Chains A and B, each alone.
Chain A
Amino acid sequence: MVKLYHKEKTREVKSYFNKRGEEMGQSIKKFGEFVREKRLEINMTLREFCRKTGVDASNWSKVERSIKKPPKSKEVLEPIADILELDGEEYNTLYDLATISHVPKETLTDEKILESLPILFRTARQGPPSRKDMEELYEMIMKGETDEDN
């Protein structure tokens, strides 16, 4: 029964946002984009935000980039709404977007990984990095950009 209600509610909210998005000629904002926008509106860095809300910074950077599912529980969302000073419609938007957000099961493409590979970085050693280090760095970057829960 609860599940059915939740499904119905999700459909309702999605339809509302789709309609509103169409009316405004734009697509629906994702949860992560919305939070990031509100956070920067009040001049708060990701670092400060994570410290104040107590969310895990590494996971949250993924939520904001929409590669990890947002939290749905009131216990997590309430302090976020508080810290972002959301009320009225924005408060509802936060909850609604958390409800409808989903992370598509995308395969991490080679192209995307190649775009993330660093060029300019220092190395602890004197000369260029070793081949082994570069192989390991590649693996780390590839693993880092996937959501283990997805």
Chain B
Amino acid sequence: MKTIRSDYLTNSEIREKAEEFREEYIGNYEIPVNILLIAEKQLDLKIVLEEGLGRRFDIDAYIAPNCEELWVDTTRYTKRTWEERLRFTFAHEIGHWYMHSQILEEIGWDTKEDWIETRCDQKNHNNISSFEIQSDEFAGRLLVPKQKLVEKIEEKQDKIDEFYDNASRPWIGFDDLKGYLASDICDDFKVTEKVVEKRIEKEDDIEDMLRQ
């Protein structure tokens, strides 16, 4: 059995990495980020489609350890209704490609048994989970850049004022506003509402800007 080492990164380190990646492979702050094309064209990742990854294992996608193939569930890749989620999935896997490629390449399986034992080990699983969280942070930052998020929120200032004016009931507060704004601007980034909500939560100064 192999040991998958942990590699702790702070949120600000992850964000720096996302910005480094943007500079290196995208070169601008345009939204929505064409992440599917970047994966194929800039990173030369081959798309391998596999039916059942999602339905049977609830795996949307994974990057092969050689960092040359991106395996994706066929239905989740092709269905229009999955587009926003698919874009986040790609950004997430690119996060692994950019931040964790060394860890991926270090591990070579000798046998199928070796792979199973390594992946089923609790300690390895905990370390893998922390890589998943890191890649989520990377993906959010990449698809929803901070300055674009601020710009989009500023464009909605009238709506924000209107929201607070009408929020006479005491239980209507910041969380409701966050959801209200996210549903309004998520299309600009082509991500789900949840991703925008998370991004607002993660940026302290945006949260302060919205609290009145």
Q: Contact between A120 and B36 (Cβ–Cβ < 8 Å)? A: no
Q: Contact between A124 and B57 (Cβ–Cβ < 8 Å)? A: yes
Q: Contact between B57 and A138 (Cβ–Cβ < 8 Å)? A: no
A50-B78, A64-B46, A115-B66 given; A121·B115 CB < 8 A: no
Nearest to B80 among chain A residues (CB) is A51
Q: Contact between B104 and A120 (Cβ–Cβ < 8 Å)? A: yes
Q: Which residues of chain A have C-beta atoms less than 8 A from B124's C-beta?
A: 128
Nearest to A114 among chain B residues (CB) is B109
A142 CB to closest chain B CB, in angstroms?
9
Q: Which residues of chain B have C-beta atoms less than 8 A from A129's C-beta?
A: 57, 119-120
A contact patch SS: helix
A47 touches which one: B36, B108, B122 (CB < 8 A)? B36
Which of B13-21, B125-133, B194-202 is found at the contact surface with chain A? Answer: B125-133
Q: Which residues of chain B have C-beta atoms less than 8 A from A19's C-beta?
A: none
Q: Which residues of chain A have C-beta atoms less than 8 A from B47's C-beta?
A: 46, 61
User: In the assembly, what is the distance between CA of A134 and CA of B62, in Å?
Assistant: 14
Which residues of chain B from 19 to 59 have any CB-CB distance to chain A below 8 Å in the complex? 34, 36-37, 40-41, 46-53, 56-59
A114-B109, A120-B128 given; A144·B50 CB < 8 A: yes
**Using a Cβ–Cβ cut-off of 8 Å, how many residues does chain B contribute to the interface with A?**
50
B27 CB to closest chain A CB, in angstroms?
14
A114-B109, A127-B125 given; A61·B119 CB < 8 A: no
Q: Which B residues form the contact surface with A (CB < 8 A)?
A: 4, 34, 36-37, 40-41, 46-53, 56-59, 62-66, 69, 71, 74, 77-78, 96, 100, 104, 107-112, 115-116, 118-122, 124-125, 128, 131-132, 135
Q: Which residues of chain A have C-beta atoms less than 8 A from B62's C-beta?
A: 118, 120-121
Nearest to B59 among chain A residues (CB) is A121
Q: Which residues of chain B have C-beta atoms less than 8 A from A144's C-beta?
A: 48, 50
Q: Which residues of chain B have C-beta atoms less than 8 A from A145's C-beta?
A: 48
A29 CB to closest chain B CB, in angstroms?
15
B122 touches which one: A58, A61, A128 (CB < 8 A)? A128
Beyond A116-B64, A117-B109, A127-B125, 13 extra complex contacts between A and B, CB < 8 Å:
A46-B36, A47-B78, A57-B74, A57-B78, A116-B65, A117-B112, A118-B59, A118-B63, A121-B59, A122-B58, A129-B57, A136-B57, A144-B50
Q: Which A residues form the contact surface with B (CB < 8 A)?
A: 40, 43-47, 50-51, 57-58, 61, 64-65, 113-124, 127-131, 133-138, 140-141, 144-145
A128 touches which one: B66, B111, B121 (CB < 8 A)? B121
Q: Which residues of chain A have C-beta atoms less than 8 A from B69's C-beta?
A: 116
A58-B51, A115-B65 given; A123·B122 CB < 8 A: no
A123 CB to closest chain B CB, in angstroms?
7
User: In the assembly, what is the distance between CA of A65 and CA of B112, in Å?
Assistant: 24
User: In the assembly, what is the distance between CA of A43 and CA of B77, in Å?
Assistant: 18
Q: Which residues of chain A have C-beta atoms less than 8 A from B119's C-beta?
A: 119, 128-129, 134
Q: Which residues of chain A have C-beta atoms less than 8 A from B100's C-beta?
A: 120
A114 CB to closest chain B CB, in angstroms?
5
